[in-house]
Amino acid sequence: MKIAIATTSELAATAGAAIAESGGNAVDTAIAAALVSINTEPGVCSLGCGGYITVWGNGAPPVTLDGYVAAPGKGIDADPAGRASTAVHLEYGGGITTVVGPDTVGVPGGIAAFGTASERFGRLPWQVLLEPAIDISRRGFPLPKASRDYLVFSGKPIFGRADDGFNALHDDAGQLKNVGDKVKVPYLADTLEAIAKNGPAEFYSGDIGRAMADYTMASGGRMSHEDLNSYSTVTRDSLLVTTGSWHIATNPPPAVGGSVLTAMMELMSRNPISCWDDSALDRLVKVQRAVLGYRRECMDHSTRLAEDAACLLELSAIGNLQQIMEAGSTCHTSAVDDTGLGCSITMSAGYGSGDMPPGTGIWLNNCLGELELNKHGLDIGPPGCRLPSNMAPSVARSDENKVLAVGSPGADRITTAILQTLVNHLLLNMPLDDAVRHPRAHVEFTAGGYRVAYEPGIGIDRLPVAQRAFESLSMYFGGVGAASWSATDGLCVAADPRRTGGIWHSATG
């Protein structure tokens, strides 16, 4: 079996390659690479994450596995006065405020989603998929640039909350380690070994799950034993949008990202474009302004997200831009194989709570405190409800049976990064690598209205709109990973130069 994979680091790509060469398919390969990615990019993600996996096999309908973070608090009556959270302002990304501490920890679903995907779509035993992550965690791994860029701001105020975590990231003098310095997280390899041996349930109802719940509850959080014991992956029919001969499957509600991506792709593909001329760029800006504005006004605070998402999709289907206008940190892995199976995985732990239950090596998430995404705050809703997310792991198929897996990190730039990559590749027929590398634009909302952030070379400076120019390609605009296969073209893979990534495919190793 031949496989192509695009992921966040060469380390993760090498792990995926080892699984592919052991007889794994695209899903096995993606899971193994993602497990390495989330555990070797401290600050960017962690084992305490949640996310989504979209899978589309040849001849089968596409599905999205919802393993995102859930609201905690089942079986408990937590006194608000005893809950522990702290607002932290960081000069990261131009300045952000996030809330950290035990009360920001949501119920992590990443391991459950990996387990469900392995059981339903994989070929290799669960234990085999964790072997690369165990080995790398046991030996230690080099600190990635993406991690250090964030930890420069968050290393002490957030990741100084737990001694084991702080010591893993800092030298003996208390200084943040440099890019390439070895990081070895205490107990992480032991935790991964237990999950490999006992299955995903170990993370929820085993000793590891009990350690996480005991720590969180004792420290002023709400993630209980019942929260973890009752957590399960939800399988949803993927959202589908058709453009030309292509059919794109992505993340459905209650996540926000898939609906936003589907609406923007629907609107962009209504009128044919042949290049990024002024007319096409003007349409890109108007589509982003309309759809992102609708999300901001109607979905970010919504208590009926499914209905509001359906309204957005209905308006985009009829091309009503005017009515639409009126009305966070992630890791991504894409993989395809030569049977036509595509798998797209995106995972997030928010900005990280900084909390690490003793003896586990697990940095817990702060997804309840991710204020720019979770507009409802710490008391988001009833225990068990899924938190909002911009993540949109996607798999596309053409009528000629070409398959493309694609996704991106990048907070609210996730959907616009994927949109422009899809427009470049599917509508403008750019080669996959060129489609990923092409300069991007993103509509930002300000107190005075909106402006367009853009990279050099795209041509936004020709339009009469408020602008914010970047000097070069920037990780601000996402970090798309894409892999494709067709019987005529074989395997193709592309990793975004905006973020250090890793690629591998069977044809070359």
Of 154-163, 188-197, 294-303, 420-429, the range with the lowest mean pLDDT is 294-303
Average pLDDT, integer, range 392-415: 91
Say what the pTM is: 0.93
Instruction: Examine the pLDDT at 229 and tell me if it is beyond 80.
Output: yes
Mean pLDDT computed over 10-30: 97
pLDDT higher than threshold 70 for residue 341? yes
Residue ranges, comma separated, of all CATH 3.60.20 domains in the chain are 237-331+392-505
Long-range contacts, stretch 458-465, CB < 8 angstroms, 24+ apart: 458/276, 458/281, 459/276, 459/277, 459/278, 459/281, 460/281, 460/285, 462/278, 462/281, 463/278, 463/281, 463/282, 463/285, 465/285
234, 387 contact by CB (below 8 A): no
Is the pLDDT at 97 greater than 80? The verdict is yes
pLDDT for res 412: 79
pLDDT (mean) for 198-215:
98
Asked which of 261-270, 273-282, 293-302, 438-447 is least confident by mean pLDDT, the reply is: 293-302
Q: What tens digit of pLDDT does each residue of 113-125 get?
A: 999 999 999 999 9
The CATH architecture that domain 237-331+392-505 belongs to is: 4-Layer Sandwich (3.60)
pLDDT range class, residue 427, cuts 50, 70, 90? very high
CB 343 within 8 A of CB 404: no
Q: Which of 91-95, 342-346, 411-415 has the lowest mean pLDDT?
A: 91-95
The 3-class SS string of 223-259 reads CCHHHHHHCCCEEEECEEEEECCEEEEECCCCCCHHH
Overall average pLDDT of the 3-14 stretch: 95
Rama region for 220: left / alpha / beta (φ>0; ψ in -120 to 50; rest): left
Distance between alpha carbon 410 and the CA centroid of its chain, in Å? 8
Q: Could you please report the per-residue DSSP string of 454-468?
A: E-TTS-GGGSSS-EE
% of the chain at pLDDT higher than 70: 92
Mean pLDDT of the chain: 90
